[in-house]
Structure 1
Amino acid sequence: MNEQWIPRSWLMLALGTSGQAASTTALYGLAYLIPAFRTELGLSLAGAGLLVSCPVIGILLGLIGWGVVADRYGERLALSAGLLIAAAATAAAAAVHGTWTLGALLVLAGAAGSSVNSASGRLVIGWFPPDRRGIAMGVRQASQPLGTAVAAAAFPPLAHHGGLAAAFGFCAALCGAAGAAIALCAVDPPRPRRAAGAPAGAAPYRGGYLWRLHGAAAVLCVPQFVVTGFALLFLTEVRGWSAATAGGVLAAANLAGAGVRLLAGWWSDSVASRIRPMRLLAAVTTADLVLLAAGAAWDSAAGTAALLLASGLTVSTNGLHNTAVAEYAGPHWAGRALGVHGMGQHLAVVLVPPLAGALVTGPGYPLLFALAAVFPALAAVLLPARDETADWPVPDGGRAAPRPPTVEV
């Protein structure tokens, strides 16, 4: 493989990963500010959960639009513009005091930051051949638990010492730095040449393959949001841990989750399949969440261990299903397909924080975790039977290594 493109491909991966990590901290890490929302803004648990959902609402509004921008005008423009707008929105959030205004700014930040969901995966897929895409997307998707780990470690002490303004200022700095780096250094991947005015190819939605991937990914996100959103509260309110200790342990658990994504990507490259590893990981996640529900009901240390394990398992498949979607959609449709893919996931979880908060206030954590176990089991059924892919151009004219033989697992 051409040695000249290897450093560029890994630079593009680093840029996409940093953008994803920054947006994750700002948009998905707000659950670690729930105690601050309740004390500083006087919100109920359900109200604080609704505020946590505001960026998710914004993401739903922006995903497909940013996918169109990425497909037509390139990943660099979509990523840098979205992150810089998100930085401005979170900087403004640091200066406001009203709950409604804060919620509106968080919706705007989510709409802008959703460019990362639609474009960064396309940037990575376009710079790597098939036999390396799993591990490359594993690295890119590892940025999500990395961003969550940053939020778990940074938000509680920032909110304690500087209030919500300090936490949102931190988010603005992360998004601004990542957006500027992408604007200066990112290079859009090569695309297949076609005649001027020629169509980009048929939309990849004529069969049911993408819809099954979208559905499976959507239901897999529900337990992820349950664990991410309520692990801190469970450890502090039920297990009696301090916020600093719980935040540190959860940060470590999320870093381990990043490692799980890397292993899942390597595994999928080794067996030349994204689907079979996803199905097995969904089954293991179901079993762990059942153990978590039982441990929460009987106040067992096994429940705490299962919670920490769930922090990694519930995010283990993200890189796999994003890779599968982009590979099947092809270079002319990947941005829009990833936008639809992300929209389905966020539609599935937009009400998870407030509804889960209401469940915790009522029946309690055992029922919440037991219900969460249903979703990965459903995902295992929804997944397609086999992998299907489209052709992507190899960067710089290089020749991709042959796919390893399919191995049944």
Structure 2
Amino acid sequence: MTQTVAAPHAAVPTRAWVVLALGLLAQAAGTLLVSAPVYLIPLLHLQLGVPLAAVGALTAAPTLGMVLTLVLWGAAADRFGERWVIAGGLALTTAAAIAAAVTAAATDALVPLGIALFFGGAASASTNAASGRVVVGWFPRHRRGLAMGVRQMSQPLGVAAAAVTVPPIASAAQTSGVFVAISALLVVLTAACAIGIRNPPRPQIAPASAAGSAPAGSSVSAAGSAPARPAPPPNPYRTSAFLARIHAVSVLLVVPQFALATFGMVWLIAGLGWTPAAAGLLMGVSQFVGALGRIVIGALSDRVGDRVRVLRRVAVAGVIVMALLALVALAHGAIPAGFAVGGIVLVLATVVSVADNGLAYTSVAEAAGSAWAGRALGVQNTGQFIAASAVGPGIGAAIALLGYPLVFGLIALAPLIAIPLIPREDRHG
């Protein structure tokens, strides 16, 4: 008898790449809204004199909103599918962006704007939770590292877009103009995702074995009862500590990422004397290069076949570049062309700081399995954004008290602590 064997590396359907592209753009647009307050810091702090800790609290408002809804959005994606979770979440994000524009035009107070941004972050979390699940559903394992690397470009691309566009728009049209522009973009992407995204095929779950077996060809058990219900997949958090360890590692590695994204531009301006336009452009370049780096790292993990080993090397690199940045911040005045050297090292540190996300997300999704991926990615995002929401006010206050060099050095401890927590081998659900 001839048996047909499936090709080990089946082709990825075109639909998968279309859905991936839309998910990337959706999350990038949400990140643009969440990151906009960061690039309002030069206007609010350096020109209007708002304390750095207060501005840091404003930047934390959208990430705090994300923290409270990520798991809920992930559970919704597991139950209802990715299409309407992403499209519906973007519609709510659009409403929050419009509210932010109206609020910013009506008053200079930061609290009402922070409330609007809080709800914007809560809504935009839908794209974080659901777009990662799309990768697991549409792509085979041998392409998931690359696909998740592409998907994970969304965060640095959104930050890059904010870095390049927010300062000039704020200069020309104030804070309200920034959120008007973001609202227009979100309207377009909401419609595109509602039309173009399709839920991936869901794998069939094997039925639980029954006591005794029915005769061949019978549709009922020997006792005449209906077929047994499919056995639900086990809770991956109860079968292994792998997911918990990856979550903890990701929380630690997100500290330098958000610290540099939030205060890197301010350091360039206040510490090295860069102009706001030049600093914004450099931050945009660093985030764009970081986005490309995520693709390279994801493809490398596919080639190596060991995601946690690559993740460990990224963490080691994170310690090195943050320590180097601390030294440059301390001694840039004594370094020839310290103005330029500081910018180069900041770009290098930023690229390394964003490289781990795709690896960790892919590891979480694969270990959780398709039935738990949405919830597990929601937990993954929640932990990261809890840390991120503390970075704004916490690091801002620390910089005001201790200065940039010492704070950069302290941030290097986060990836150092993460290294021994990284599991020794991958796990697949």
Instruction: Using structure 1 for the length normalisation, give the TM-score.
Output: 0.92
Q: Secondary structure at the match of 1:351?
A: helix
Residues 62-90 of structure 1, C-alpha deviations (whole Å, 9 max, x = no match) = 10110111000000111111111011101
1:22 offset after TM fit, Å? 0.7
Structure 2: gaps (5+ residues): 1-6, 208-227
Q: Deviations over 1:170-208 (max 9, x none)?
A: 222232222221111100011122479645312110121
Counterparts of 2:80 and 2:51 in 1: how far apart (Å)?
43
Structure 2 match to 1:400: none
Tell me if structure 1 keeps the 8 A contact 2:290–2:352.
yes
Of 108, 113, 121 in structure 2, the residue corresponding to residue 102 of structure 1 is 113
Moved more, 2-11 or 171-180: 2-11
The aligned residue for residue 54 of structure 1 is 61
Determine the structure 1 residue equivalent to 2:4: none
Tell me the equivalent position of 1:161. Answer: 172
CA–CA separation in structure 1 for the residues paired with 2:45 and 2:406: 23
Match of 1:388?
A: 427
The number of residue pairs the alignment matches comes to 390
In the TM superposition, residue 3 of structure 1 has moved relative to its aligned partner by: 8.8
| Of 344, 349, 358, the match for 1:310 | 349
1:208-255 per-position Cα deviation (integer Å, ceiling 9, x unaligned): 110000000011000001110111111111111110111111111111
Amino acid in the other structure paired with 2:142: D
1:224 has 2:257 as partner: yes
Q: Distance in 1 between matches of 2:269 and 2:194?
A: 41
Amino acid at match of 2:94: A
- 2:214 is matched with which residue? none
Question: Which residue identity is paired with 2:129?
Answer: S
Report the equivalent of 2:220: none
1:24-103 alignment runs, 5 A limit: 24-38=31-45, 43-96=50-103, 97=107, 98-103=109-114
Higher mean C-alpha deviation, range 171-180 or range 85-94: 171-180
What is aligned with 1:290?
323
Change (3 A) 1:303 1:39: closer
Tell me the residue number matched to 1:270: 303
User: Aligned partners of 1:345, 1:197: CA distance in 2, in Å?
Assistant: 37
- Counterparts of 1:41 and 1:123, CA distance in 2: 43
Match of 1:205 among 237, 240, 262: 237
- 1:42 shift after superposition: 5.5
**Match of 2:153, SS?**
helix
Q: Does structure 2 retain, via aligned residues, the 8 Å contact 1:356–1:368?
A: yes
Is residue 417 of structure 2 the alignment partner of residue 374 of structure 1?
no
Distance 1:326 1:40 in 2: 44
Aligned counterparts of 2:44 and 2:81: Cα–Cα separation in 1: 38
User: What's the secondary structure of 2:204's corresponding residue?
Assistant: coil
Aligned counterparts of 2:422 and 2:11: Cα–Cα separation in 1: 38
TM-score (norm 2): 0.88
Identify which range, 222-231 or 198-207, moves more after superposition.
198-207
- 2-structure distance, mates of 1:306, 1:230: 14
Deviation at residue 39 of structure 1 after TM alignment: 6.8
**Which residue identity does 1:387 align to in structure 2?**
D
The 3 A distance-change label for structure 1 pair 3 and 273 is closer
SS at the partner of 1:307? helix
Unaligned runs of 5+ in 1: 391-409
The structure having more radius of gyration, on CA atoms, is 2
Q: CA deviation at 1:95?
A: 0.7
User: CA contact under 8 A between 1:49 and 1:353: conserved in structure 2?
Assistant: yes
Distance 1:100 1:198 in 2: 50
Which letter maps to 1:329? A
Match of 2:221?
none
Match of 1:353 in 2: 392
Conserved in 2, the CA contact under 8 Å of 1:295 and 1:304? no
Verify the 8 A CA contact 2:42 2:276 in the aligned structure 1: no
Supply the distance in 1 between the matched residues of 2:137 and 2:302 (Cα, whole angstroms): 16
> Would you say 1:140 and 2:140 are equivalent positions?
no
Give the root-mean-square deviation of aligned CA atoms: 1.7
C-alpha contact 2:315 2:419 (8 A) present in aligned 1: yes
- Which runs of structure 2 are paired with 1:320-339 in the superposition (5 Å)? 320-339=359-378
Distance change >3 Å, CA 93–CA 42, structure 1 → 2: farther
Residue 88 of structure 1 aligns to which amino acid in structure 2?
A
Would the alpha carbon gap of residues 288 and 51 (structure 1) be closer, same or farther in structure 2, given more than 3 Å must change?
same
TM-aligned CA distance change 1:342 to 1:21, over 3 Å: same
Q: Of 118, 126, 129, which aligns to 1:115?
A: 126
Shift of 1:40: 8.0
